[in-house]
Structure formats: structure tokens, C-alpha cells
Amino acid sequence: MEKKTIRDLDVKGKTVLVRVDFNVPIEDGEITDDNRIRQALPTIEQLIDKQGKLVLFSHLGRIKSEEDKEGKSLRPVSEKLAEHLGRPVKFVPVTRGDELESAVGSLQVGEVLMVENTRFEDIDGKKESKNDPDLGRYWASLGDVFVNDAFGTAHRSHASNVGIANNMDEVAAGLLLEKEIKYLGDAVENPERPFIALMGGVKVSDKIGVLENLLQKADMVLIGGGMSYTFMRAQGLSTGNSVVEEDKLDLAKSLLEKAEGKLHLPLDFRAAKEFSNDAETRVTDYDDLRDDEEGLDIGPKTIEKYAELLQNAKTVVWNGPVGVFEFENFAKGTKGILSTLAELKDTNTILGGGDSAAAAIKFGYEDAIDHISTGGGASLEFLEGKTLPGIQCVDDL
């Protein structure tokens, strides 16, 4: 997938519209995780070095009413970005109109401006989320070239990505989007083998397409997390009070048949009678869960087995934690997998966003993994083999 990137652009003196993904958690006006801001810095800094005038667009949360706007302004994000860049970032508290146009028009080479939350446009008819053509055309009129660096929204056709792109003569990928295409795209379409996929999370239904695609592409698929119990029940095993999707048992049976031995399930679990970090725990084999117990993490035998299987891998893609890692007593499996991946030599390790990415950052493995995706739903759809509109709209080389 060869796409034009900012390396191919001449932006000297031009106004560059950049779609970033600054949808970061904010509590009481403070950003609690600025990973997405930091991930966008290489693109922003290179465009500054290339003497562009930058106008940044991002959404923050979901906005359906005026009340939803409370606490969803991008002003604190612009302030955090300024800290990282070591230079001012102009913030415009509107998404259209004279104030925005004047601010953009007065930008000098190397300056950065951030537009207010694009989803404020959703209050009246979901103009952003439904890719209103007039809104996309308006935003596009503010600049000379468009750079999409927001992989987190690449699976959505919004006015601030596809809408702008459709009205620009030149559209390129930022360095983060390029990195996502390279790592996730190559992992699925052209992996160095053996290629092992590790799938966790709660529901099989959330990852049907991904599982079906990876069972065709990967040499082995390891299962953990809540989805394990649906596969176990499909084989007639007792799952106690563990989460099971009763309406997906036939699907789980079908996937097991299609897998032809590629799909591996846990050997044991760490179980408890309550969904609590303080609950008394018991390690049990996969076929010995009691009726009043709930599996909340993979057990030591599984951690050891999966570590052994991963030793020979040349490409590993992991999406979804293998236990309730938010509880320290049920984070052993997720930590064990992270530790194994961190120790692998000459292996391309990729985390497909969402909770598995959050776990890696929480437990200090961020720098030990080759690539941690900034996309949740976008990563899943990309791993499923779908065409993402936010990538498709970028010019081909």
C-alpha cells in the first residue's frame, strides 16, 4: 500500500490542514494520558521544519447536545501540545466563521493553530460524523494541502478527514498514519513467518471478522480473555459464572472447525467468586471451573505455554488483554504476555490498540514493543482486512 506522505510534500509557505487524533482522556480539565499527542509530534515537527503553516483538527469525545460540550473543549489539549512542542499553539474556540478564518489567515510560517473540537458540529445534524459535504468543503477552503495523521478515526468517513480530503488537490499521510499502515498492513498482508496472532478481550462477536481473517493469514492464533469461555462452552465444557455469549456458540464451533488446529485455548485460569480485586482467587484447569466461579485471567500453565509458542515467532500481533488487567490480582496473564514479547529477539511485535495498548503503557512496556497502535476500532477493521476510508482518501504514489 504505497501512499503519499509528508516526505513527498513541498509545504513551504503553505497552509497545511492536519487531521490529528487528540481524543485523549481529560478529568477535571487535566489530561490523564497524552500518548496520542506525543505520537503526533513527529508529523507536526516535520511540517514546521518544512516551513508550513499548520491548522490542526481533532475530535474529543461524543457530542450530541450543548450539555455534552462541557469539559470537551480542545483548549487544554492545545496547551499540552504547546508544552511538548516548546512553542505557542494558537487555539480558536470555534469550528467555523470569521474568527477562525482571520486566525488562519494571519498564520506565519512555522506557527501552529488548533481548531475547536470538530464534533461540536454534531449538535445540529451530526455534520462532522455524517461527513456533511458543505462542512468538508468549508474546512478544505482554509488550506492548501491536507495531511491525515489520525489513524484512530481512519475507519470513519467524517467531514474532518474524508470530507476535507475530497475537496483538496493534494492529500498525504502523516508519519503516524504511515507507521500504522506499515506495521499493521504488512503484518497481515506480508508477515515474516511464523506469524502468531494473540486475541483477547471479552466478546467473540466484537472480533468475528478479525478472527476469520487471521485464521487464514496467521500460522497460529492464541486465545485469551473473556472470549475464551464462549469457545470452551462451545466444546461442552463448564464455564461457571464466566462471561459467555450464548448466541455465539455455533459461531465459536464453526471457528474451531475452520481453524484446523491453528487456534489455541487456555489450559488454566485464575478464578474467583466475585468480580473484585480483593476476591479470594483459585487457579483451576480449563475443565474444572466450579459453578460459582468466574474466570478472570489466564493461569500459569497458559502463560508458560503461550510464552513457549511465541518464542519462534517472527511476527506477533496482539489485540485485547487476556485478563482483567485493571485488577492487580488478575493482571498476571497480561503482564506475562508483555514480558514475553519484550524479551523476543528479531521479532516484529505489534499491539493493535485499545486495552492491550493501555496495558502495555500502564505496566511500562511501551518502549519494549515495536509498534503500539493508536487505533481501537480502526485497528480491528484494518486487521479484518477492510479498506479504511481515512487511508483510502490519501493520494497514492
- Catalytic (active-site) positions: 36, 203, 354, 377
What is the C-alpha separation between 230 and 53, in angstroms, rounded?
52
Cell representation of residue 285: 484447569
- Among 155, 145, 73, 172, residue whose Cα is nearest residue 114: 73
Query: How many angstroms separate the Cα of 328 from the Cα of each of 48, 323, 325?
Result: 43, 10, 6
d(CA 129, CA 194): 40
Question: Distance between CA atoms of 354 and 319, rounded to whole angstroms?
Answer: 8
β-pairing, 26-27 with 30-31?
antiparallel
**Which three cell numbers mark 153?**
478515526
Q: What is the CB neighbour count within 10 angstroms for residue 345?
A: 5
In angstroms, rounded to a whole number, what is the distance separating the alpha carbons of residues 29 and 24?
11
* Degrees to nearest 5, angle at CA 201 with 299 and 255: 90
Class of residue 81 by CB neighbours under 10 A (exposed 0-12, middle 13-18, buried 19+): buried
Separation CA 25–CA 37 (nearest Å): 11
In which element (H, E) is residue 55 found? strand 53-57
Measured distance CA(382)–CA(375) in Å, rounded = 10
> How far is the C-alpha of 227 from the C-alpha of 229, rounded, in Å?
5
